[in-house]
Amino acid sequence: MELRHLHTFVAVAEERSFSRAADRLRIAQSAVSRTVQALERELGHPLFERSRHHVALTVAGLNALNVARATIETAESLRGAASCNERCPGR
């Protein structure tokens, strides 16, 4: 599991579309498809229902989405933490 996979997953979940997620991420749809497949394979559960004419999160996907967002947010905050030359206030 890598942060890049989570970014892709969140984009698809928010756009409810592989193609719109690809546009947002500035990569090809095929790359999005492969990344989501790899993540689903690693987690052992499908994250999306591909039936009908739009993509929908499974229950597992919905649970994963919240955690994925939290993971990304925490990782981003690491940049700020590392830029703090003095001890951060409150630590």
Partner DNA sequence: TTTTTTTACGACACACGTAACAATG
Partner DNA sequence: CATTGTTACGTGTGTCGTAAAAAAA
- Please state, in angstroms and rounded to a whole number, the distance separating the CA atoms of residues 42 and 1: 7
Binding partner at 89 among DNA, a second copy, none, C-beta below 5 to 8 Å by kind: none
Q: Does 85 bind a second copy (CB under 8 A)?
A: yes
- Please state, in angstroms and rounded to a whole number, the distance separating the CA atoms of residues 85 and 91: 13
Position among 31, 70, 81, 88 found at the interface with DNA (CB under 7 A)? 31
Residues near 27 by Cβ (< 8 Å), separated by ≥ 6? none
Contact (Cβ atoms closer than 8 angstroms) between residue 41 and residue 33:
no
Which residues lie near DNA (CB under 7 A)? 2, 4, 17-19, 26-31, 33-38, 50, 52-55
Which residues lie near a second copy (CB under 8 A)? 1-4, 6, 43-45, 47, 59-61, 63-64, 66-68, 70-71, 74-75, 77-79, 81-88, 91
